[in-house]
Structure 1
Amino acid sequence: MDTTLYLGKIQSFAQGHWHTPQTTGRPVYHAVTGEPIAEISSEGLDFKGMLDYARTVGGPNLRSMTFHERARMLKALALYLSERKAAFYEIAQATGATRQDAWLDIDGGIGTFFVYASKGRRELPNEHFLLEGEPETISRGGTFLGHHLLVPLEGVAVHINAFNFPCWGMLEKLAPTLLAGMPAIVKPASVTAYVAERIVRAMLDSGLLPEGALQLICGSVGDLFDHLTGQDVVTFTGSAETGLRLKSHPTVLREAVRFNLEADSLNFSMLGPDVTPDLPEFELFIQEVIREMTIKAGQRCTAIRRTLVPAEKIDAVLEALSERLRQVIVGNPAHERVQMGPLVSRDQVAEVRSRLEVLAEAGELLCGGGQDGFQVVGADPNRGAFFPPTLLYCARPFEHAAPHTVEAFGPVNTVMPYQDLDEAIRLAKMGRGSLVGSLITTDPEIARTVVLGTAAYHGRLLVLNRECARENTGHGAPLPHLVHGGPGRAGGGEELGGLRGLLRYMQRTALQGAPTMLTAICKEWMPGAAQPTSEVHPFRKYFEDLTIGETLTTARRTVTEADVVNFAGISGDFFYAHMDELAACESPIFQGRVAHGYFVLSAAAGLFVDPRPGPVLANYGLENLRFTKPVRPGDTIQAKLTVKKKIPREGDPPSGIVVWHVDVLNQHQEVVASYDILTLVALRPNAATA
């Protein structure tokens, strides 16, 4: 590693230009050498101008794109960053990150872009808005409906990030923000802002972001909060004290600015009472605790701070943990042998040491501690921000508040005994809310008891055993598919969670009106809306020629006993309700022989399908199937096929997706089955080649 690294003044990006502060800024230090490597200051930035620029330039540019266009943008950005991540890895060493630490931060952040790009293309419409759930029939006659509509907020997302994950912490917020269609201003923690600046620079250099979509503040936020509005969003990751101060800003309160707080918390890991030292789960538990204490030198908001162990297994656990921790090689992350790097700064070392003094009053220090002079590979422990892995034991955890209220944000962990599951659950909840808890057990009943007993206090729970050990992502790894956040001390917020992550940046509006009107607004056919007919069979029409609500009402078909018998022979389904008249009559549900539901489905397809080759290329899905009334031999059925939704797509062959709603009716015009089918429908040849 180049220990002569000097970056000069860290720049901000504001209103379309890179900004260099003209005065001397606050020094930023190398975590390994302790040498100054940069200066940081946001002096000279026009914070109100940055907000206005995002609202008037970035917002309209992003909202002009559909979800699919934004998703493709995210994928392109992820690919672009992936090609340049070697440079990000190199500069991350100055933060104290080992190769594995940097992988979690950099590859994890880029991976979040990939996940949201995929979900945007696969789970969102190619539209500028999102419909949530199904329409609600409000009136008896069905002429008045309600639906929930989601549109992007027309403000700015201000993301204030912690120092520990300068890449992932930024990209995991940007992914849902940009996909939702909202511009962002990112403010990284000063001590590692040079990594975030390098990544933002790459994103902007790519030319993939529309103008105004992303700005960067390196340094303080100045008077930015004074100019927020109710259309803006603020997210904060860091200490609970700072988060509360920002959340209580008068403008945030007055304007009802959406504020998402993710605070550091006292996460727990619990060894189940069923796990003995001879089981694989015991080793899994030890490995997980060690890994969570040493990855990023314990500087993770999800790191294990409290380890809960059955009292009769305390000696075995303490011996195993202490032995492993003494073997951890601490030092310069550029050295291959090093397993744990330094903390982010000497200031952080001082803070961890002061918190450890409080924790040590509640128990016994087993290994580590904040003393100077411990062995460090490839660096000077008195100049770099090094701190040894530290384990404490609190024998009476119900008598001491410190392990449940004081967090040393570093490689520090307190082991506590419990006598039974009730005590274990009480201890887990004494942290007053955390981001994550984990349980290692082989017993499903123990797992059920602990999960239901602790879930209200934790944003995520990992239940680990040998079955999922190989593929599990670990106690401390938030996933873009699942929510990240927690109640109480953890801040009460949520991030990620798949498409749930977009909702923070969108306004949910209850929309009411006539079915035909809502159909026109939402571009999706609603029950009770007009169903115009055409002389041309809809399967003979190209994608562009189909209109929302267009409906084909088919001829009728009478179901016979032979139909039921033949379908049973073909399908192998000889369920009594279809074949045994006496048994079917005795059934309180069927009260007589009925046709197979899937026969009704197949017969309906025979009624509405045009058999000739044409624009309909393939049927590839069926959704929302319900059989609502029995069909008996002698009943007559017909189908109504309605164009419910059209989804443009890219790919070969040139085509779009058409969602058709099908109602199957009996001779009394009662719906006996309803469902949606999805087909690929070709574009007109001239459109495909245009």
Structure 2
Amino acid sequence: MTSTAVAPEATTVETVPSFVQGEWWTPSAEASAGVPVRDASTGEILATVNTDGLDLAGVVNYGRTVGQRELGKLTFHQRALKLKELAQYLNGRREEFYTSSFKTGATKIDSMVDIDGGIGVLFTFGSKGRRELPNSQVVVDGPMEVLSRDGSFAGEHIYTRIPGVAAQINAFNFPVWGMLEKFAPAFIAGVPTIVKPATPTGYVAAVVVKAIVESGILPEGSLQLISGSARNLLDHLDYRDILAFTGSASTAKSLKSHANVVQGGVRFTSETDSLNAAILGPDAVPGTPEFDAFIKSVVTEMTVKAGQKCTSIRRTIVPQALVSDVVSAIGARVDERVVVGDPRAEGVTMGALASLEQLADVRAAVQSMLDAGGELAYGTLDSPSVTSLDGTIGVVEGGAFMSPVVLSWADVDSEAVHSLEAFGPVSSVIGYSDLDDAVRLAARGGGSLVASVCTNDPAVARELVTGIAAHHGRVLMLNREDARSSTGHGSPVPHLVHGGPGRAGGGEELGGIRSVMHHMQRTAIQGSPNMLTAVTGVWHTGADRNFTVETEGTHPFRKSLATLRIGDAVRSELRQVTLDDITAFANSTGDTFYAHTNQEAAEANPFFPGIVAHGYLLLSWAAGLFVEPAPGPVLANYGLENLRFITPVAAGDSIRVTLTAKKITPRETDDYGEVAWDAVLTNQNDEIVATYDVLTLVEK
């Protein structure tokens, strides 16, 4: 993706720019006034945000045309390599991203979670895309289904990319991670992305997009940025497109009710409110490693990003007898570890909320909870004394600072504790009577992104996890064994699903290659094996073979990837198996299983006619039957897949092997690639003895 226009500095110009249709864009001088964006710690106006006059229809069309065209030129592996290259490039520019991130109220640790975490997603998908997807543009899903007696008609499922755009509307708390965790799987799938970040922190996303554009790594049209309102974006989307939303449940409901979602077929996924829980097992009493790990986790989730995380622990569910101990331990750790202030100041460990508006919303939510019966067990709603950038300590009127707050509840079934989310450094401690009660209280959240279960008792872990799993998208089991190595309650990882049922939105992001498939259409295709082979690039049983020794005088193992073709095959002569062969193999390997050594016992087995050859003897012979021994393009045999033994082979029977080039996967960064060969062993009666895939590395 390249542009001749020079992007203005997003944090110093009057208006945060958008990057659309291959160039940087800001409103004309005649446009209406933009929305001011302020430094969360000082209240200083940084820039304005305005999309007055932006052609959203043109933005969508550009993605569907230019973006689709350019991404369509690349295979999954080629896209994955570009993600890796982009991750390496952005990794070298993190410090400038941190400088912008500090202005959102984020500390260095907060910024690492957002920025390094987002870059880490690119690395992960760059790796998984090459390991788990073919070097092509079609994914075969599952085996071929034979639909006719003679095998001339068959069917299977494939995935191909959706033909539209992947639009994303993100929350203010993670302007970088939120953008890149949605972008990476869409890019691997070959679908162009339109990013609409939240206004208060969108300038950080703009700084990162600026770096992405300057890298010149991405194909044109891969990524567009809308800095400001995109209220009618959905008006321009249809069944070809996907909209991924992160934010409030009320906004998600409004978007989900749009005619283009309800009737037009726009694929809509959301991640919304979540009253996540952490459950302390009855065995995890004070003094145990589990109790300490639990308290650390709760305080971390309250204070990282000032509690502005969709995965933060909002409900701390503990044995009734331990409520007081837990509240005291949380307060003690906050007193010991947490310093509130400007994240650019030395020693500060918790920064400001993203804006004064966000601060007002959190205070109002806490007050509503107090009015509903909650008690302030730790902290205050008054403006705290904070450390300013110059080192002074005091109240900063323009800063969106808040003290960590812990609430306790006499009535653990109060509706407020299970329905109101204070999106800041706030958690409620509620007591349970037994494990069934703990499960019941966790489920009162109405569906959540994540829960933690902290126990060293396997029986307790099993009962709690199986009880709450259906109410959550992810469950972390925390104990002394993984307390140090765990990525933590609040950290989604790109390998696993991020999302949750019910109140959490019912969506699903990340999850490795699963999330790539969200941007693709699963289609059933039917036809002859030859036609299925043509569409998928994978040889199917019943499709034509080219026995190259007979037609070209060349063994297929003598072909490099430049000349090898799907369907190239070799068929061996028959080789007879004798009792001496079977006995020698048993003695040399030590595999003296009775079916290979005891005639009477073998005959008594319903599967065998008597003594039979070892399956691995037959595989070894098969290799000798199909191999071309001279040095050549085949560099190594690196495995077998899908091995099945079907018909026993007795002494006196014969076997032959037919080997067919099934799938060819060149490696983009090496001078060789992988070839999967369909191997079929048959006996003298043409009955199938065994089937498997042989995997080889072959020179390009």
**Is 2:342 the partner of 1:332?**
yes
Task: Work out which of the residue numbers 500, 505, 512 in structure 2 matches 1:498.
Answer: 512
Matched residue type, 1:519: T
- Cα distance in 2 between the residues matched to 1:622 and 1:479: 31
TM-score of the pair, normalised by structure 2: 0.94
**Is 2:610 the partner of 1:592?**
yes
- Cα distance in 2 between the residues matched to 1:422 and 1:376: 45
SS in 1 for 2:547: coil
- Cα distance in 2 between the residues matched to 1:147 and 1:207: 39
Structure 2 match to 1:675 = 692
Structure 1 match to 2:410 = 395
Structure 1 match to 2:489 = 475
- Within-5 A mapping of 1:98-109: 98-109=107-118
- Cα distance in 2 between the residues matched to 1:233 and 1:586: 61
**Is 2:639 the partner of 1:621?**
yes
SS in 2 for 1:357: helix
- Using the TM superposition, give the Cα deviation of residue 7 of structure 1 relative to its aligned residue in structure 2, in angstroms: 4.4
Structure 2 match to 1:364 = 375
**Is 2:275 the partner of 1:257?**
no
- Cα distance in 2 between the residues matched to 1:458 and 1:381: 39
SS in 2 for 1:422: helix
Task: Work out which of the residue numbers 393, 404, 413 in structure 1 matches 2:427.
Answer: 413
Structure 2 match to 1:658 = 675
**Is 2:37 the partner of 1:16?**
no
Structure 2 match to 1:687 = none
Per-residue displacement from partner, 1:346-403 (whole Å, max 9, x unpaired)? Answer: 11111001110122233221111311244545464332100111111123312x1111
SS in 2 for 1:106: helix
- Using the TM superposition, give the Cα deviation of residue 590 of structure 1 relative to its aligned residue in structure 2, in angstroms: 4.5
Structure 1 match to 2:177 = 168
The answer on whether the counterparts of 1:373 and 1:382 sit within 8 Å (CA) in structure 2 is no
Out of 275-284 and 480-489, give the one that drifted further. 275-284
The answer on whether the counterparts of 2:383 and 2:401 sit within 8 Å (CA) in structure 1 is no
The answer on whether the counterparts of 2:40 and 2:352 sit within 8 Å (CA) in structure 1 is yes
- Using the TM superposition, give the Cα deviation of residue 477 of structure 1 relative to its aligned residue in structure 2, in angstroms: 0.5
The answer on whether the counterparts of 2:234 and 2:258 sit within 8 Å (CA) in structure 1 is yes
TM-score of the pair, normalised by structure 1: 0.95
The answer on whether the counterparts of 2:609 and 2:650 sit within 8 Å (CA) in structure 1 is no
The answer on whether the counterparts of 2:306 and 2:352 sit within 8 Å (CA) in structure 1 is yes
Change (3 A) 1:642 1:366: same
- Using the TM superposition, give the Cα deviation of residue 633 of structure 1 relative to its aligned residue in structure 2, in angstroms: 2.7
- Using the TM superposition, give the Cα deviation of residue 667 of structure 1 relative to its aligned residue in structure 2, in angstroms: 2.5
SS in 2 for 1:255: coil
- Using the TM superposition, give the Cα deviation of residue 254 of structure 1 relative to its aligned residue in structure 2, in angstroms: 2.2
- Cα distance in 2 between the residues matched to 1:108 and 1:677: 38
- Which runs of 5 or more residues in structure 1 are unaligned? 684-690
- Using the TM superposition, give the Cα deviation of residue 85 of structure 1 relative to its aligned residue in structure 2, in angstroms: 0.7
Out of 572-581 and 655-664, give the one that drifted further. 572-581
- Using the TM superposition, give the Cα deviation of residue 78 of structure 1 relative to its aligned residue in structure 2, in angstroms: 0.8
Out of 42-51 and 533-542, give the one that drifted further. 533-542
**Is 2:597 the partner of 1:579?**
yes
Structure 1 match to 2:7 = none
- Within-5 A mapping of 1:254-333: 254-327=263-336, 328-333=338-343
Change (3 A) 1:555 1:302: same
SS in 2 for 1:338: coil
Matched residue type, 1:63: G
- Using the TM superposition, give the Cα deviation of residue 537 of structure 1 relative to its aligned residue in structure 2, in angstroms: 1.6
The answer on whether the counterparts of 1:47 and 1:222 sit within 8 Å (CA) in structure 2 is no
The answer on whether the counterparts of 2:342 and 2:386 sit within 8 Å (CA) in structure 1 is no
The answer on whether the counterparts of 1:531 and 1:549 sit within 8 Å (CA) in structure 2 is yes
RMSD between superposed Cα atoms in Å: 1.6
Structure 2 match to 1:145 = 154
The answer on whether the counterparts of 1:96 and 1:332 sit within 8 Å (CA) in structure 2 is yes
Change (3 A) 1:467 1:629: farther
Change (3 A) 1:102 1:375: closer
- Cα distance in 2 between the residues matched to 1:393 and 1:6: 44
Task: Work out which of the residue numbers 198, 201, 209 in structure 2 matches 1:192.
Answer: 201
The answer on whether the counterparts of 1:64 and 1:128 sit within 8 Å (CA) in structure 2 is no
The answer on whether the counterparts of 1:177 and 1:184 sit within 8 Å (CA) in structure 2 is yes
Out of 30-39 and 377-386, give the one that drifted further. 377-386
Task: Work out which of the residue numbers 351, 354, 377 in structure 2 matches 1:344.
Answer: 354
Per-residue displacement from partner, 1:441-482 (whole Å, max 9, x unpaired)? Answer: 112222222222111110011111122222210011111111
- Using the TM superposition, give the Cα deviation of residue 152 of structure 1 relative to its aligned residue in structure 2, in angstroms: 1.3
SS in 1 for 2:203: helix
- Cα distance in 2 between the residues matched to 1:453 and 1:356: 29
- Using the TM superposition, give the Cα deviation of residue 589 of structure 1 relative to its aligned residue in structure 2, in angstroms: 4.7
SS in 2 for 1:131: strand
- Cα distance in 1 between the residues matched to 2:283 and 2:619: 50
Matched residue type, 2:171: A
- Cα distance in 2 between the residues matched to 1:395 and 1:598: 68
Out of 532-541 and 496-505, give the one that drifted further. 532-541
Out of 61-70 and 185-194, give the one that drifted further. 61-70
Structure 2 match to 1:688 = none
- Using the TM superposition, give the Cα deviation of residue 140 of structure 1 relative to its aligned residue in structure 2, in angstroms: 2.8
The answer on whether the counterparts of 1:14 and 1:45 sit within 8 Å (CA) in structure 2 is no
Structure 2 match to 1:509 = 523
Per-residue displacement from partner, 1:224-257 (whole Å, max 9, x unpaired)? Answer: 2211121011110011111111111122222110
- Cα distance in 1 between the residues matched to 2:587 and 2:43: 80
Per-residue displacement from partner, 1:605-654 (whole Å, max 9, x unpaired)? Answer: 111111121221111121111122323333221111011011122344x2
The answer on whether the counterparts of 1:664 and 1:671 sit within 8 Å (CA) in structure 2 is yes
Structure 1 match to 2:105 = 96
- Cα distance in 1 between the residues matched to 2:181 and 2:327: 36
Structure 1 match to 2:557 = 539
The answer on whether the counterparts of 1:364 and 1:394 sit within 8 Å (CA) in structure 2 is yes
Change (3 A) 1:581 1:310: farther
- Cα distance in 1 between the residues matched to 2:157 and 2:343: 51
- Using the TM superposition, give the Cα deviation of residue 43 of structure 1 relative to its aligned residue in structure 2, in angstroms: 0.8
What is the count of residue pairs matched by the alignment? 677
- Cα distance in 2 between the residues matched to 1:537 and 1:617: 15
- Cα distance in 2 between the residues matched to 1:675 and 1:588: 24
- Using the TM superposition, give the Cα deviation of residue 322 of structure 1 relative to its aligned residue in structure 2, in angstroms: 1.9
Structure 2 match to 1:46 = 55
The answer on whether the counterparts of 1:643 and 1:660 sit within 8 Å (CA) in structure 2 is yes
- Using the TM superposition, give the Cα deviation of residue 132 of structure 1 relative to its aligned residue in structure 2, in angstroms: 1.5
Structure 1 match to 2:502 = 488
Task: Work out which of the residue numbers 351, 365, 384 in structure 1 matches 2:399.
Answer: 384
Structure 2 match to 1:686 = none
Change (3 A) 1:6 1:15: closer
Matched residue type, 1:132: D
- Cα distance in 2 between the residues matched to 1:125 and 1:613: 27
SS in 1 for 2:548: coil
**Is 2:225 the partner of 1:208?**
no
- Using the TM superposition, give the Cα deviation of residue 284 of structure 1 relative to its aligned residue in structure 2, in angstroms: 0.8
Out of 471-480 and 316-325, give the one that drifted further. 316-325
Task: Work out which of the residue numbers 657, 666, 669 in structure 2 matches 1:639.
Answer: 657
Task: Work out which of the residue numbers 552, 577, 586 in structure 2 matches 1:559.
Answer: 577
- Cα distance in 1 between the residues matched to 2:176 and 2:503: 24
Out of 6-15 and 209-218, give the one that drifted further. 6-15
The answer on whether the counterparts of 2:384 and 2:401 sit within 8 Å (CA) in structure 1 is no
The answer on whether the counterparts of 1:6 and 1:36 sit within 8 Å (CA) in structure 2 is no
- Cα distance in 2 between the residues matched to 1:529 and 1:245: 51
- Using the TM superposition, give the Cα deviation of residue 580 of structure 1 relative to its aligned residue in structure 2, in angstroms: 3.2
Change (3 A) 1:571 1:470: farther
